[in-house]
Structure 1
């Protein structure tokens, strides 16, 4: 974050937007999962988890490796030109093991000391019967599940926050309404979860951002358990179905003829309350049925609190050029899992 040359009363900042929410989300997830205090800078758990998540997204993106297109390449030796994916796979294996083990072992070592904090790991391990025949298996499940907290949750939270900030940047009139609502309700203090019901417009902007830019536009694959028909399509039993969440959340019959545009008012009643008759995009964005995201409530709460807190203390505007005019910032979504 860089401060410009203005005085403190009217200073503005250039902030590395992707880095700031990601570090915050990672610290929250590590603390929630393991109860480990995380340093703002230079923390080994924070740096390693950032690297691990980044690598997983990179190698999991369809088409990012030649072997995805030419499967026979999996048989060539690692030293052969074009076999970099094999070396990357070995690196990822090492990283994933450390990703699971390092913070877990740190959390366990803190038990019974002044460093111990309530966490998912402490509660889950405390519920295991040490005399059970599968006690060790249960501990491994806790270890794996804890790793999923920040392995699966961090980037989805960050993507949601950045999409929302982008909308605030490109729509000053919407940002102004958010600030007005926050100022009236908070009166100079920082927000808390108890304020959610009093901030319906903020919630509507988050819902609309989630609708237009779901962090995982394609859902988790499902298998049909019986023959089915959808519209004009026959779906045989045992078919693999990948739901197109992006398309679902832009249906005109659900959200109106302006479904491709940004309009948070579609989620509000005439008196400014959240309209429960309009489909909440979070219902689809977090998946369906038994494969829906188990951390949906945590993720949604973290995104809301981050957005409310950021909007309470910041305003966003496009940078100014040498001529004093705003420099238009192009929309730039990358193709990836998120």
Structure 2
């Protein structure tokens, strides 16, 4: 098997498992034990961490079918109730049907139909930033939630206090709770699920109970509102309405269960990811003002200073802004570790034995901070894409193999139009304390699936 951290009988490497920010520990282990793949044994379960673009391409792409399944995420799926999330489901006929309808709604061509809505939401965001710049993260979150609800359900949530946005917030917190290492212990050692909640080691199960209602509410609450508007004939164009119109289609009508779950997955996956990426953009512009100035100079040269606002037709004429977007995705990836895959049968790679049934995790952080591909990787440098035109697009930010994020195209459009619009209208600068001294923000992130 590939090398990895020290192991003890029965518990394996459990005592070495990081409690937070595991991608940094895994990247360090890759340097210490073996770069391409790190093997971790936890209570007899095997984890294979893929640390290089070369290994990721060979395993997830070329041998995609072997690596397309998912491990049984007992805690998230059974205890908290997120078995409806596409990213947590195994590779099955049901998942493939799920993926078909999701792709139908969010493929590259379909995503372009959302551009007018994204443009309008971005202009509203600019007004909010202008009026209350100190609340920038709240504005990003409210705008992201509003966009997702409009596209998925036709619901216009004009306030961050809207109950649908609050439901999404709590649902995302429930996912973060389930993704904690304490929750993952139930996945590695399912016997814990059979123990009473008061039993030592199983108490986390009791703590999960209050979160379960949000997993259900994320499906049902916005769906009921959207279906009522569709039935009354008052619904604006949206994904739920489009799917509802297919309920009675022939020869293979979509089920109502699928109508509920496709927009619910967008609702879950689209909010925090947008906020994370745009927060990183603002952090980068604060810490690297020279990149901000170069992007603004490019925008002024193409669009004109103080003229019209940029739109999607300007994208091809603004290569440096495009490089800023790429570097935002690479520098501090939204998901430093990909959601785990599962190897369906024994395999080999570069002389190593890879055991069937292993968890397989793409270490996106390690891939994006590989010094042989990205020199000085901790520096935010859009210039690197001009100095080395052969650098790949950071597609790993959207997952791997057959499980890559089907909402990728809309996510890129949303990130690009927000970045270019903020740069065209505003300066992002360090705040100052009561003595007028600049405050350097900390480059620190939360832990979890989305950071």
Give the unaligned 5+ runs of structure 2: 1-129
Query: Would the alpha carbon gap of residues 239 and 49 (structure 1) be closer, same or farther in structure 2, given more than 3 Å must change?
Result: closer
Give the drift of 1:128. Answer: 2.6
Give the corresponding residue for 1:265: 383
Which SS does the other structure have where 1:242 is aligned? strand
Instruction: Give TM-score, length-normalised by structure 1.
Output: 0.83
Q: 2:255 aligns with which of 138, 145, 157?
A: 138
Give the drift of 1:306. Answer: 1.7
Summarize the alignment of residues 98-137 of structure 1 with structure 2, pairs less than 5 Å apart.
Answer: 98-113=217-232, 115-129=234-248
Give the corresponding residue for 1:280: 393
User: Is the contact made by 1:63 and 1:69 (CA closer than 8 Å) also made in structure 2?
Assistant: no
How many Å separate the matches in 1 of 2:425 and 2:157? 23
Which SS does the other structure have where 1:285 is aligned? helix
User: Is the contact made by 1:254 and 1:279 (CA closer than 8 Å) also made in structure 2?
Assistant: no
Give the corresponding residue for 1:22: 141
Q: 2:318 aligns with which of 199, 202, 217?
A: 199
The reply to whether residue 75 of structure 1 matches residue 195 of structure 2 is yes
How many Å separate the matches in 2 of 1:247 and 1:15? 33
Give the corresponding residue for 1:151: 268
Which SS does the other structure have where 2:376 is aligned? coil
Give the unaligned 5+ runs of structure 1: 1-10
Residue-by-residue CA offset, 1:198-239 (whole Å, 9 max, x unaligned): 111111112112112111111122233454443453323443
Give the corresponding residue for 2:55: none
Give the drift of 1:291. Answer: 0.8
How many Å separate the matches in 2 of 1:211 and 1:193? 22
Query: Would the alpha carbon gap of residues 39 and 12 (structure 1) be closer, same or farther in structure 2, given more than 3 Å must change?
Result: closer
Q: 2:428 aligns with which of 303, 311, 316?
A: 316
User: Is the contact made by 1:217 and 1:246 (CA closer than 8 Å) also made in structure 2?
Assistant: yes
Give the corresponding residue for 2:108: none
Residue-by-residue CA offset, 1:184-205 (whole Å, 9 max, x unaligned): 2233322222221111111111
Query: Would the alpha carbon gap of residues 305 and 87 (structure 1) be closer, same or farther in structure 2, given more than 3 Å must change?
Result: farther
Give the corresponding residue for 1:163: 280
Query: Would the alpha carbon gap of residues 269 and 86 (structure 1) be closer, same or farther in structure 2, given more than 3 Å must change?
Result: closer
The reply to whether residue 325 of structure 1 matches residue 408 of structure 2 is no
Q: 1:235 aligns with which of 354, 364, 367?
A: 354
Give the corresponding residue for 1:5: none
Matched residue count: 318
Q: 2:295 aligns with which of 164, 171, 178?
A: 178
How many Å separate the matches in 2 of 1:269 and 1:198? 18
Which SS does the other structure have where 2:430 is aligned? coil
How many Å separate the matches in 2 of 1:84 and 1:20? 37
Give the drift of 1:75. Answer: 2.8
How many Å separate the matches in 2 of 1:168 and 1:46? 28
Query: Would the alpha carbon gap of residues 146 and 182 (structure 1) be closer, same or farther in structure 2, given more than 3 Å must change?
Result: same
Give the corresponding residue for 2:54: none
User: Is the contact made by 1:22 and 1:155 (CA closer than 8 Å) also made in structure 2?
Assistant: yes
Which SS does the other structure have where 2:353 is aligned? strand
How many Å separate the matches in 1 of 2:401 and 2:243? 24
Q: 1:96 aligns with which of 215, 223, 238?
A: 215
Give the corresponding residue for 1:7: none
Q: 2:413 aligns with which of 298, 301, 306?
A: 301
Give the corresponding residue for 1:32: 151
Give the drift of 1:254. Answer: 2.5
How many Å separate the matches in 2 of 1:84 and 1:279? 45
User: Is the contact made by 1:208 and 1:262 (CA closer than 8 Å) also made in structure 2?
Assistant: yes
